[in-house]
Amino acid sequence: MGRVKRSARTELLPGTLDMLILKSLTRGVMHGYGIAQHIQQMSDEVLQVEEGSLYPALQRMQLQGWIESEWGHSANNRRARFYRLTRAGRKQLGLAESGFERVLGAIVRVMRPQSEP
């Protein structure tokens, strides 16, 4: 498990964590743990970020104005902070996604070159 975690961390492209968080939040309001769980489950446990590093990222994104937070109560009635995407965050996600797709496409083209038609 540790090995996977480490490799996942090293292979996360810069800025990807932000994008993953933003993407997770498109599903609705979530607390930190929920976001971590969501990323892990959606990536079939491949992407296991060092969970704590989520929090400085969340702070930074609040400063950027991409997300907002408020305190509420979790499903089992625990006090938790819930994050919500802002309009700026949605815009940022769009930018990040198109950038990501471009990079991904390029990587794919490099890794699996198709024969010339």
Partner 1 sequence: MLSRFLRRLRFFLRRDRLDDELRDEMALHVELRTRDLLEAGLAPADARQAAIRRFGNATWLREESRAMWGGPLDTWLQDVRYGLRTIGRAPLFSAVIVLSLAFGIGASTAMFSLVDAVLLRQLPVRDPDGLVLLADAPNFGTFTGTQNEDRDVFSYPEFREVRGDAGDLLEGVFASSNAEITAPVRLDGGDDGAGPATSALVSGEFFDVLGVGAARGRTFGPGEDGAPGAAPVAVLSDRFWTRRFGRDPRVLGRTLLVDNVGLVIIGVMPPGFFGERVGAAPDYWAPLSMQAALMPGRDYWNDRRALWLQLVGRLRPGVSLGQVRSELTARFVHRRAALAGADLTPDARRDWLDHRIGVSSAAGGLSDLRGDSSNRLLLLMGLSALLLLLATTNIGGLLLARATARRREIGMRLALGATAGRLVRQLVVESLLFAAMGGGLGTMCARWGATGLLALAAGGGRPVPLDPPLDLRVLAFALGVTSAAGLAFGLVPALQATRVGLVGALRQGAGIPLRAQTWLRRRVVVGQVAVSLVLVTAAGLFAATLGNLRRVDVGYDPNGLFVVSLETIEGGYHGERLAALARTLEERVRTLPGVETVTLSENGLFSDYDSITEVDTVPPTRRANDEDVYGYFDQVAPGYFRAVGIPIVAGREFDTGDRPGAEPVAVVNGTLARELFGNAQPLGRRFRTTGSRPQERVVVGVVGDTIEHNLRSGHRARFYLPYFQPRSDPGSLELEVRAGGDRAALADMLRTAVRETDANLPVSVATVDGLIDRTLDEERAVATLAGLFGVVALLLAALGLYGVVAYSVAQRTGEMGVRMALGARPAGLAALVVRETLGLALAGALAGVPLAMLGGRAIASLLFGLGAADPLTLVEAVALMAAVATVAGLLPARRAARVDPLVALRSE
Q: State which of positions 32-91 bind partner 1 (CB under 8 A).
A: 32-33, 36, 48, 50-53, 55-56, 59-60, 62-65, 71, 74, 78-81
Judged by CB under 8 A, the number of residues near partner 1 is: 24
Nearer to partner 1, 45 or 101 (CB): 45
Shortest CB 109 distance to partner 1, Å: 35
Shortest CB 25 distance to partner 1, Å: 16
DSSP-assigned letters across all residues of 55-105: HHHHHHHHHHTSEEEEEEE-TTS-EEEEEEE-HHHHHHHHHHHHHHHHHHH
Contact 58, 83 (CB under 8 A): yes
Q: Are strands 30-31 and 79-85 parallel, antiparallel or unpaired?
A: antiparallel
Nearer to partner 1, 22 or 49 (CB): 49
| Largest Cα–Cα separation, the chain | 60
Binding stretches for partner 1 (CB under 8 A): 5, 31-33, 36, 48, 50-53, 55-56, 59-60, 62-65, 71, 74, 78-81
